[in-house]
């Protein structure tokens, strides 16, 4: 792949990302329009549903035959959950949980 193709991919990806991010503001940004209840409902239930799906996807491969096959994942999930329950900050809990998990995996702690 040449540089022009790579730059084109980045530009198209950035444009699509911005378009997706700005669409709700264009549709519902006016104070004159009421946000439909279905949109409000989806905004409240989808983030936890996505997080649950990511957790299930992350642990679907775990085998309890040996602790080295599951201990790092469980510790990472527990750290993420504890930080989230403590601080109620999704971004902070994901970042700290990921850092702890990566330290465990890279350090081969098991």
Same domain flag for 6 and 43? no
Report which DSSP code applies to 35.
P
Same domain flag for 41 and 83? yes
Report which DSSP code applies to 34.
P
Which residues, 6+ apart, have CB-to-CB distance to 51 below 8 Å?
90
What is the predicted pLDDT for the residue at 43?
A: 87
Same domain flag for 59 and 102? yes
Same domain flag for 28 and 46? no
Same domain flag for 20 and 52? no
Write the pLDDT tens digit of every residue in 80-104: 999 999 999 988 998 999 999 999 9
Computed over every residue of the chain, the mean pLDDT equals 88
Q: What is the 3-state secondary structure (H, E, C) of 44-78?
A: HHHHHHHHHHHHHHHHCCCCCCCHHHCHHHHHHHH
Same domain flag for 9 and 44? no
Same domain flag for 58 and 15? no
Same domain flag for 19 and 41? no
Q: Which domain holds residue 50?
A: 36-110
Q: Which residues of 29-61 are buried (b: 16+ CB within 10 A; e: fewer)?
A: eeeeeeeeeeeeeeeeeeeeeeeeeeeeeeeee
- The pTM for the full model equals 0.59
Same domain flag for 2 and 44? no
Same domain flag for 61 and 85? yes
């Amino acid at each position: 792949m040449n540089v022009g193709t790579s730059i084109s991919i980045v530009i198209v990806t950035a444009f699509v990302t911005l378009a997706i991010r700005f669409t709700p503001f264009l549709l519902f940004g006016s104070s004159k329009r009421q946000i439909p209840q279905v949109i409000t409902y989806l905004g409240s239930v989808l983030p936890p549903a996505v997080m649950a799906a990511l957790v299930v996807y992350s642990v679907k491969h775990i085998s309890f035959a040996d602790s080295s096959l599951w201990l790092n994942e469980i510790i990472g999930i527990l750290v993420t959950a504890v930080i989230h329950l403590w601080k109620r900050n999704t971004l902070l809990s994901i970042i700290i949980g990921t850092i702890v998990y990566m330290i465990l995996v890279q350090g081969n702690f098991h």
